[in-house]
C-alpha cells in the first residue's frame, strides 16, 4: 500500500473515533497493553530470531514492563475534551488530536517502541503509521498486527495503527513528509531527516550513560545496580550504564563485588587492547558485536570468561577521546575509572558525555543531596538517575519519570525536548481565556 493511501486510511480511522469519550479511549489502551503483555514471550523470541540482538529473558521482561508501566502511567489521565480548568487564571484547556503520527522505530526495540508510541498516540485520539527498521520488520509487523486485532475486538478501527511492511530509507522519508507529526527513534541521521521533513518532530539523541559511585554509598549495592544497568538486553538500550567512576580507595572492594555479581573483570592493557579491537572498527562500534553475549565478545577477542558472566568490566586509565571504552558501547561492557574527589568524578563523566551522549542521562549512587544537585548542575544531561539502575531513566513505577520509549535529550542532543516523551506531546491544546482581575496595576517596577 502506498504511503499516501496509508495516511488517508489513518485519517478515516481517526474520524471514526473523533467522538470517543475518555473511557473509550482508555479502553483502546487497555486491550492493546494486555494483548502485548500476554504475547510478550512469542514477540521476544521473534525479535531474537530476526535481529540476533539482546537477551530473550530481558526482552520478555521489557515487553511486559512497558505494557504495564506505560498503560499504568496513562490510565485515568485526561486527554479528551476539557482536560483542565484553572479558575484563578480564567483558563479552560481542551485537548485535540495532533493528527497522523509517523513513528520510525529501531531494530533494538522492535516491539516496545511501536507499543509505547502507539499507546501515547491513541491516548490523544491520533492514528500512527510505523516505519520499522528493515532488520526487525517481521517483529514490528507482528506487534502492530496484534495491536490492530486488539482494537477490532472492541469495535475500534484497525487502521488507527498501520505499519510499512517492506520498509526502506526512501519510504521512511516519504512517511515523514506525509504525516502531521514524527517520533523518530534512531541515529543522528534519522533524527536530522525527521527535523528536515517540514513537520513537527520529536527525536532522541545517542546514549552514553555515565555513573558515579559516591564515597557514602554501599559498594555492594552499587555493583549490583551497575551490573543490572549494563547487562540489560546485552547493553542495546540507550539508557544502559556505560561507565562507573569510583573512589580510588574502594577499588579492591568494588572489583570483588563486581566479580561476585558476575562481572568478568580485565585490568591489563594487553587484554583491553584485544577487546577494543573486537568492539570497535576504526573508532566505531563493530556491528557484529552489538547486543551479543559477553562470552561471544570475549571469545572473539581471544579471551576466556566464566560461562555465567553477565558483563565484561574493564579498568581504564583515561577518559574522553583518549579511550574508546568511554564511548557508547551497545554491548555488555562496562568501563571502570577511579577518582580522587567527587568533583573530579563529575568532570570525568562530563568529558565522556561531551564526546558522546550529551543530553541523555547519568547515574549517581549517593546519599548526599549536595552531590546530587552538583551532578545535576554540572552534567549536560536531561536525567540524573539516583540509586537505581540507569535503565530506569526510561521511567519506572519507583521514580517520578514517566515511562516512555523515547528519551528526549534537549539541545545538547539536538532534540526539541529534554524530558521523556509523553502523551501530552502528542495532543494540541486549546486554551479558552476569560477575563480576570488584572495581575498588576501597570507599574510592576516597584
Catalytic residues: 238
Characterise 262 by phi-psi region: left (phi > 0), alpha (psi -120 to 50), beta (else). left
What CA–CA distances, in Å, run from 5 to 11, 31, 137, 177? 10, 27, 20, 14
Helices (H), 237-368: 251-260, 269-279, 294-300, 342-355
Q: By CB neighbour count within 10 A (0-12 exposed, 13-18 middle, 19+ buried), where does 3 fall?
A: buried
Pull the grid cell for residue 302. 581471544
Q: Rounded distance, CA 339 to CA 358, Å?
A: 21
* Exposure of 137 in the CB half-sphere (CA atoms within 13 A): 11
Q: Rounded distance, CA 299 to CA 304, Å?
A: 6
> 417: which residues sit within 8 A by CB, 6+ positions away?
202, 408, 410, 425
Tell which residue, 167, 197, 168, has the closest CA to residue 182: 197
Q: Rounded distance, CA 330 to CA 108, Å?
A: 10
Q: What angle do CA 437, 440, 445 make, to 5 degrees?
A: 180
User: What does 72-134 look like in DSSP terms, one character per residue?
Assistant: HHHTT---SEEEEEEGGGTEEEEEEE--EEEEE--SS-TTHHHHHHHHHHHHTT-EEEEE--G
Cβ neighbours of 14 (radius 10 Å) = 18
CB 149 within 8 A of CB 35: yes
Tell which residue, 105, 100, 221, has the closest CA to residue 161: 100
Q: Rounded distance, CA 311 to CA 225, Å?
A: 12
Characterise 414 by phi-psi region: left (phi > 0), alpha (psi -120 to 50), beta (else). left
E-strand spans in 390-440? 427-433
Amino acid at each position: 500500500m502506498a504511503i499516501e493511501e496509508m495516511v488517508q486510511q489513518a485519517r478515516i480511522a481517526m474520524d471514526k473515533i473523533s467522538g470517543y469519550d475518555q473511557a473509550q479511549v482508555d479502553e483502546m489502551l487497555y486491550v492493546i497493553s494486555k494483548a502485548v503483555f500476554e504475547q510478550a514471550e512469542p514477540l521476544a523470541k521473534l525479535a531474537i530470531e530476526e535481529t540476533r540482538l539482546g537477551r530473550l529473558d530481558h526482552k520478555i521482561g521489557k515487553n511486559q514492563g512497558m505494557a504495564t508501566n506505560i498503560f499504568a502511567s496513562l490510565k485515568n489521565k485526561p486527554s479528551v475534551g476539557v482536560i483542565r480548568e484553572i479558575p484563578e487564571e480564567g483558563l479552560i484547556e481542551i485537548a485535540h488530536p495532533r493528527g497522523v503520527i509517523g513513528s520510525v522505530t529501531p531494530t533494538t526495540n522492535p516491539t516496545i517502541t511501536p507499543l509505547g508510541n502507539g499507546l501515547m498516540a491513541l491516548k490523544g485520539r491520533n492514528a500512527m503509521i510505523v516505519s520499522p527498521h528493515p532488520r526487525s520488520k517481521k517483529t514490528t509487523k507482528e506487534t502492530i498486527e496484534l495491536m490492530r486485532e486488539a482494537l477490532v475486538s472492541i469495535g475500534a478501527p484497525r487502521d488507527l495503527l498501520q505499519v510499512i511492511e517492506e520498509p526502506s530509507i526512501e519510504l521512511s522519508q516519504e512517511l515523514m513528509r506525509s504525516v502531521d507529526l514524527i517520533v523518530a527513534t534512531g541515529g543522528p541521521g534519522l533524527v536530522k531527516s525527521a527535523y528536515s521533513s517540514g513537520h513537527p518532530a520529536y527525536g532522541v539523541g545517542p546514549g552514553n550513560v555515565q555513573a558515579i559511585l559516591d564515597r557514602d554509598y554501599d559498594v555492594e549495592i552499587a555493583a549490583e545496580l551497575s551490573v543490572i544497568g549494563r547487562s540489560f538486553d546485552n547493553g542495546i538500550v540507550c539508557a544502559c550504564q556505560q561507565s562507573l567512576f569510583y573512589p580510588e580507595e574502594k577499588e579492591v572492594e568494588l572489583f570483588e563485588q563486581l566479580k561476585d555479581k558476575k562481572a568478568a573483570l580485565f585490568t591489563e592493557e594487553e587484554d583491553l587492547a584485544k577487546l577494543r579491537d573486537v568492539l570497535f572498527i576504526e573508532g566505531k562500534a563493530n556491528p557484529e558485536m552489538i547486543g551479543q553475549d559477553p562470552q561471544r565478545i570475549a571469545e572473539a577477542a581471544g579471551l576466556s570468561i566464566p560461562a555465567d558472566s553477565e558483563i565484561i568490566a574493564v579498568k581504564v586509565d583515561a577518559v574522553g577521546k583518549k579511550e574508546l571504552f568511554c564511548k557508547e558501547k551497545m554491548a555488555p561492557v562496562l568501563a571502570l575509572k577511579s577518582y580522587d574527589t567527587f568533583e573530579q568524578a563529575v568532570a570525568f563523566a562530563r568529558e565522556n558525555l561531551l564526546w558522546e551522549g550529551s543530553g541523555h542521562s547519568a547515574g549517581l549512587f549517593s546519599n548526599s543531596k549536595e552531590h546530587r544537585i552538583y551532578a545535576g548542575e554540572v552534567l549536560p544531561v536531561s536525567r540524573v538517575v539516583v540509586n537505581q539502575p540507569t535503565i530506569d531513566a526510561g521511567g519506572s513505577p519507583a521514580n517520578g519519570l514517566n515511562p516512555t520509549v523515547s528519551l528526549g535529550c534537549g539541545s545538547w542532543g539536538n532534540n526539541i525536548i529534554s524530558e521523556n516523551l509523553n502523551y501530552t506531546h502528542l495532543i494540541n491544546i486549546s486554551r479558552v481565556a476569560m477575563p480576570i482581575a488584572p495581575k498588576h496595576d501597570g507599574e510592576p517596577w516597584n
